[in-house]
Amino acid sequence: MVRHFLRDDDLTPEDQLAVLDLADRMKADRLAFTPLAGKSVATIFEKNSTRTRLSFEVGIAQLGGQPIVVDGRTMQLGREETIEDTSRVLSRYVDVVVWRTYAQARMSAMASASRVPVVNALTNEFHPCQVLADLQTIRERHGRLAGLTVAYLGDGANNMAHSMLLGGVTAGLHVRVAHPQGFAPHEDVLADAGKRAADTGGSVTALTDPRAAVAGADVLVTDAWTSMGQENDGKDRISPFRPFQVNAELLATANDGAIVLHCLPAHRGFEITDEVLDGATSAVWDEAENRLHAQKALLSWVIGP
């Protein structure tokens, strides 16, 4: 069985814990593991990227592998070649495919024809590598995961909201998604997260009151109000979102010791203020660093026995 990582719940709670534990070990001794020696990893980007691209390229090299970074917009995939045919060819060259693309259905099509693991480096629907780094960061700051409450504020239908729901409940978190009307998480993701939560002791709540979401929260998470590809979708992605801004006033209503996460890039003055992003409760730079460690651990898991 090829181990793909297409969405957060492709890791069982036990798998996720093993990956997070390995990520901590990778961080403590970043050159101690070389499971990719003699292996090549294609990392293909159809959307812009700073963190994901750089952290995978560095991480693959640190694991002893050869990273091949490709702008997917210049591949034949961008012309007439099908995803499945592309996948068959990639399987003959590389040992892992890491891909950032648009619809999740494209990711599933790549995996369906692949003989090697496929890793989701962001789709419209999910950003599971990011949430592994987020979980590593939360555990570093709070010393545990299960039982903590995470409040995500913003577009409840985007990749970060969906991945925080699925990845968060896998770790036993209580995940609240606060969103404007019309920007609720997809029903199927809520249902899948709810089922997983029943096994782990976590819980899932979607609501439209940001203050109710933040009351009693240990972690505040936000993300862009306009994700890549949504620039011209005709929706007002500013005014309905204003009450969901992560600012000092809202943060003051969270639990003592609450931390703030943002996957970045941040739109300062929109979803988050400078004061909070640059303030003492912000864990965003550690979160960005942890992309490297968490992805190295994930790559070890996908190629592992």
Annotated catalytic residues are 100, 127, 130, 223, 263, 291
Stretch that binds ligand NVA, among 31-39, 99-107, 152-160, 239-247 (CB under 6 A): 152-160
Token couple for 5? 């990582």
Write each residue from 234 to 273 as x if it is in contact with ligand CP (CB under 6 A), else as -, in one continuous string.
-----------------------------xx---------
In the bound complex, what is the minimum distance in angstroms from residue 129's beta carbon to ligand CP? 8
Interface with ligand CP: number of residues (CB under 6 A) = 9
User: Does 134 sit near ligand NVA (CB under 6 A)?
Assistant: no
Residue among 45 and 241 whose Cβ is closer to ligand CP: 45
- Going by C-beta distance under 8 Å and a sequence separation of 6 or more, which residues neighbour residue 221? 134, 150, 151, 152, 153, 160, 164, 260, 261, 262
Q: Are 224 and 267 in contact (CB under 8 A)?
A: yes
46 DSSP 8-state letter? S
Angle at 210 between CA 209 and CA 214, to 5 degrees: 125
Binding to ligand CP, residues 11-70 (CB under 6 A): 49-53
Write each residue from 127 to 156 as x if it is in contact with ligand CP (CB under 6 A), else as -, in one continuous string.
---x--------------------------
Pick what 34 binds: ligand NVA, ligand CP, none; C-beta below 5 to 8 Å, kind-dependent: none
In the bound complex, what is the minimum distance in angstroms from residue 29's beta carbon to ligand NVA? 28
SS (H, E, C) 233-251: CCCCCCHHHHHHCECHHHH
User: Does 133 sit near ligand NVA (CB under 6 A)?
Assistant: no
50 is in an annotated binding site: yes
Residue among 107 and 197 whose Cβ is closer to ligand CP: 107
User: Does 224 sit near ligand NVA (CB under 6 A)?
Assistant: yes
Q: Read out DSSP for 182-227?
A: T-PPPHHHHHHHHHHHHHHT-EEEEES-HHHHHTT-SEEEE--SS-
Residue among 118 and 160 whose Cβ is closer to ligand NVA: 160
State the first-to-last Cα distance of the chain, in angstroms, to the nearest integer: 10
What's the rounded Cα separation, in Å, for the pair 141 and 150? 13
- Going by C-beta distance under 8 Å and a sequence separation of 6 or more, which residues neighbour residue 267? 224, 225
User: Does 223 sit near ligand NVA (CB under 6 A)?
Assistant: yes
Angle at 196 between CA 194 and CA 201, to 5 degrees: 90
What's the rounded Cα separation, in Å, for the pair 98 and 119? 5
Q: Are 185 and 206 in contact (CB under 8 A)?
A: yes
Q: Return the beta strands (E) in the chain as ranges.
A: 40-45, 66-71, 96-100, 118-120, 149-153, 174-178, 203-207, 219-222, 259-262
Interface with ligand NVA: number of residues (CB under 6 A) = 8
Write each residue from 250 to 269 as x if it is in contact with ligand NVA (CB under 6 A), else as -, in one continuous string.
-------------x------
Pick what 18 binds: ligand CP, ligand NVA, none; C-beta below 5 to 8 Å, kind-dependent: none
* Choice from 149, 158, 245, 295 touching ligand NVA (CB under 6 A): 158
What's the rounded Cα separation, in Å, for the pair 88 and 96? 12
- What residue ranges bind ligand CP (CB under 6 A)? 49-53, 122, 130, 263-264
Annotated binding-site members? 49-52, 76, 100, 127-130, 159, 223, 227-228, 263-264, 291
- What residue ranges bind ligand NVA (CB under 6 A)? 158-160, 223-224, 227-228, 263
